């Protein structure tokens, strides 16, 4: 049996780890991030991968930085023959990359060399792509730049969110990994070098990038909202208070009003003008200090004060 160390952290990694275990491979340890405070009450919470590993009685290591000398040695002492990573969140140091007999491979949620980095699912939707996929590659010291072993395409539906596409890709990654491992361990795969000229990047999203820019075309705002749902969630401002926007639809009507202007209040949502004159209907929102709700429920209650002509965002 090949001794495997699995490295991963968030929900995306869980089905990947589970598939390897259920297929009968020997996972001798799981390496994940430390427990972190979560929510308003800052409850110390284990990473999802740790929870999954403990269900199967697999030892768990949680280094703050795997490149730290003691933490690195702890992994090397396991003498893994193969390291599998999936959304681990750290670049592995060279001694670790060089140690396993079969190398270190990564399950990445894009069709590399497109969308290297920590937020490929978000940006595939934000950029309005019709397809993305999974790449399994050898790891390198440079971010997501290793040689490609296998790839599979996954279609992006027009109504996909980060949440729904995340689940599709996690399932596709699990399946592709199980198809990749047998020929990899037999030495039957021919790695393919990435074309650096085609590389694009999907760095972790910053707070200022979550804000809706009403001056953009409606389709770009629509994709932006989908590409932030269910995390970190797009937002705008209303009367200087933050209002998160969870869902929207583009409607046929046009408007010549300043982008961000409320141009209609209908039973099923709030119609807002955008940069190309197309109207975007906000159908699911989260006003400041309140829970996520349908826009129609907001308009019946606290949002009854809204009027046509009011503005969202910086153009108030």
Confidence of residue 303 (pLDDT cuts 50, 70, 90): confident
Q: Is the pLDDT of residue 243 over 50?
A: yes
Output the pTM of the full model. Answer: 0.95
Mean pLDDT within 221-232: 98
Task: Judge contact between 105 and 140, C-beta under 8 A.
Answer: no
User: Distance from CA of residue 156 to its chain's centroid?
Assistant: 14
pLDDT for residue 122: 98
pLDDT, average across residues 79-90: 96
Where residue 223 falls among pLDDT bands split at 50, 70, 90?
very high
Q: Is the pLDDT of residue 315 over 70?
A: no
Does pLDDT of 316 surpass 50? no
Tell me the C-alpha to C-alpha distance, in Å, between residue 198 and each of 107, 111, 270. Answer: 19, 11, 40
The per-residue pLDDT for 302 is 80
Task: Indicate whether 107 pLDDT > 60.
Answer: yes
Quote the pLDDT of residue 305.
87
Write the CB contacts of 298 (distance below 8 Å, at least 6 apart in sequence): 285, 287
Residue 15: pLDDT above 50? yes
Average pLDDT of the residues in 42-67: 96
**For helices 13-22 and 48-55, what crossing angle results, to 10°?**
20
Contact yes or no for 263/271 (Cβ under 8 A)? yes
Checking if the pLDDT of 163 tops 90, the result is yes
Cα(41)–Cα(38) distance, integer angstroms: 7
Mean pLDDT, the chain, rounded, equals: 96
How many Cβ atoms from other residues are within 10 Å of residue 134's Cβ?
Answer: 28
> Once rounded to an integer, what is the mean pLDDT over residues 83-100?
95
For residue 262, the model assigns a pLDDT of 97
* Structure confidence at residue 63 (pLDDT): 96
**Other CB atoms within 10 A of residue 17 CB:** 25
Tokens of 88: 């681990």
């Amino acid at each position: 049996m090949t001794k495997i160390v699995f490295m991963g952290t968030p929900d995306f990694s869980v089905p990947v780890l589970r598939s390897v275990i259920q297929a009968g491979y020997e996972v001798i340890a799981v390496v994940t991030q430390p427990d972190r405070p979560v929510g308003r009450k800052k409850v110390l919470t284990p990473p999802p991968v740790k929870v999954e590993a403990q269900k199967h009685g697999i030892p768990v290591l949680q280094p703050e930085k795997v490149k730290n000398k003691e933490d690195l040695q702890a992994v090397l002492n396991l003498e893994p023959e193969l390291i599998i990573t999936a959304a681990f969140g750290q670049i592995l140091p060279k001694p670790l990359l060089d140690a396993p007999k079969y190398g270190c491979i990564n399950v990445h949620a894009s069709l590399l060399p497109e969308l290297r980095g920590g937020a490929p699912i978000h940006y595939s939707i934000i950029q309005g792509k019709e397809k993305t996929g999974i790449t399994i590659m050898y790891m390198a010291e440079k971010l997501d730049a290793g040689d490609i072993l296998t790839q599979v395409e996954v279609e992006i539906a027009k109504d996909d969110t980060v949440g729904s596409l995340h689940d599709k890709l996690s399932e596709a990654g699990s399946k592709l990994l199980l198809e990749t491992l047998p020929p990899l361990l037999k030495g039957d795969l021919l790695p393919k070098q990435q074309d650096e000229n085609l590389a694009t990047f999907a760095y972790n999203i910053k707070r200022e990038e979550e804000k809706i820019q009403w001056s953009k075309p409606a389709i770009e705002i629509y994709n932006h909202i989908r590409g932030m749902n269910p995390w970190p969630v797009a937002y705008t401002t209303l009367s200087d208070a933050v209002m998160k926007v969870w869902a929207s639809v583009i409607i046929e009507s046009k408007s010549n009003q300043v982008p961000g202007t409320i141009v209609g209040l209908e039973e099923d949502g709030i119609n807002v003008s955008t940069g190309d004159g197309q109207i975007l209907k906000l159908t699911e929102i989260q006003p400041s200090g309140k829970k996520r709700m349908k826009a129609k429920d907001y308009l019946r209650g606290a949002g009854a004060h809204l009027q046509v002509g009011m503005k969202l965002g910086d153009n108030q």
